[in-house]
Amino acid sequence: MTLSRIVLFASVLSAAPIVIGAAQARPFDPLSPLPSGATWDTLYRVFHEHQFVDDGVVAEAFSDFVVHQLATRWSSVTVLARLITTDSAFGVFVIKHIDATTDEAELRRVQDRSTASCPPRTRSLCGAIHVAARQAAAQAAQPK
């Protein structure tokens, strides 16, 4: 193999997408992208392992998880804040998944908790969560 072919081959390889942690990842199931008992850390790992997959039924599963986690396990918002502090792209992903495809009652609960129970060091995150939940609830309430 000539030097020019080696350089070309190396450049093609470097342009190929790399899936972080793929060797340790469970097989990706688009019908169930998150394992049962998932946490914010689990979502963070899946986000990095499969960030190229975020539409349709997969996106709805992520949205259901985000809103349900915020509605039923609000105390874990400090863990979410820690992850977002180190990775703003993950924060954008999470806020994007507070949407109208999720349960309206849970969206209202998220709105309430984001204003009434916000831990002191997470005020900006709570504000973003509140705005996203309010907009999603308004959109969900519109006639279809």
Residue 68 structure tokens: 């349900």
Helix (H, G, I), strand (E, B) or coil at 50: coil
Give residue limits of the domains in the chain: 22-28+36-141
Q: How would you write the pLDDT of the chain (144 residues) with one tens digit per residue?
A: 433 333 333 332 333 333 334 444 556 666 678 888 999 999 999 999 877 678 888 899 999 999 999 999 999 999 999 999 999 999 999 999 999 999 999 999 999 999 999 999 999 999 999 999 999 999 998 887
Residue-level pLDDT at 29: 66
Residue-level pLDDT at 30: 60
Residue-level pLDDT at 5: 35
Residue-level pLDDT at 90: 96
Burial grade of 64 (CB within 10 A; 0-12, 13-18, 19 or more): middle
